Amino acid sequence: MKIAVVGATGMVGTIMIKLLEERKFPVSEIVLVASEKSIGNELKFNGKIIKVIGLEDALSKKIEIAIFSAGRTISLEWAPKFAEVGATVIDNSSAWRMDLSKKLVVPEINASTLTANDKIIANPNCSTIQLVMALAPLHKKYKMKRVIVSTYQSVSGTGIKAVNQLENEINGIQSEMAYPYPIHKNALPHCDDFEANGYTKEEMKLAREPQKILNDRSFSISATAVRIPTAGGHSESVNVEFENEFVIHDIRKILHETPGVTIQDNPDTNTYPMPIYANGKDDVFVGRIRRDETQGKTLNMWIVSDNLRKGAATNAIQIAEYIIDKKLI
């Protein structure tokens, strides 16, 4: 299996390479692709030194699966080119997520919709993935009406420039800023650009993407996305109103039995999900599970996940594993 990682030198790209090793992905040859400034750089894969090449060179390599994490602009231009020469593209950018002709996939939820004709497959937004991992099994049983979610997102979701800003501010160093304000000892209610309706693009992704993944527009989501000074891991406070009544014990049982979800919820021992414990792990962690006492049929919970792994790299690799397992390439 000839695999390309496009954006191999970026934060998500390097984790993708690591995961391909960890998960013993069936790679006969790996092609590492990056921007012109990174061409010629050397990276390790399974103990071998691999030189980074450019997109044009990679296009001629007869790639079978190309996993993109190089940004929307690159994906819009190059994903179709790779698909045209026979590659199945799994794209981690926002380029194709809401394209009606492309599948938006979280493998545990809707991988079964994929076919051999799907040559460009979209990876959802990091905050969306962890949200739907917990909501999907509950929606199936109780049918959601309305979801209110507030996110507390790591600077790593913005990229290396933001990580450097936080580290430099902690150390009292003046440097280039990824945000319009300091992030150290601060919280910015501002993830991605603002749209005309007053919401940010990140908030609208959270509103729209779950409906597409679940193929259901009968529920609505209202989101507020906040950037906080953590180095890795996104957290979400989630309030869900259902059409059907529920019992908390059954909620816990459903989530406990959901692949990829781990419950951490014991107030007696101060056990609840936190980014520091989700770091480096692939599961989505759920805790603070409790009934909303102000409104019927409504649940509160707290969801945490490593945004660079399950929120990006792991989900993409899982899609690749699925299409190989089902012989869709």
CA 84 and chain centroid, separation: 26
Active site residue 126: yes
Instruction: Name the catalytic one among 126, 139, 184, 191.
Output: 126
234 is catalytic: yes
Of all helices (H) and strands (E), which one includes residue 226? strand 220-227
The active-site residue out of 191, 234, 249, 256 is 234
Closest C-alpha to 311, from 133, 192, 79:
133
- Cα(16)–Cα(11) distance, rounded to whole angstroms? 9
Contacts for 106-110 with beta carbons within 8 Å, 24 or more apart? 106/132, 106/133, 106/136, 106/213, 106/315, 107/315, 107/318, 107/319, 107/321, 107/322, 108/133, 108/136, 108/258, 108/259, 108/260, 108/318, 109/133, 109/136, 109/213, 109/214, 110/213, 110/214, 110/215
Catalytic residue positions? 126, 234
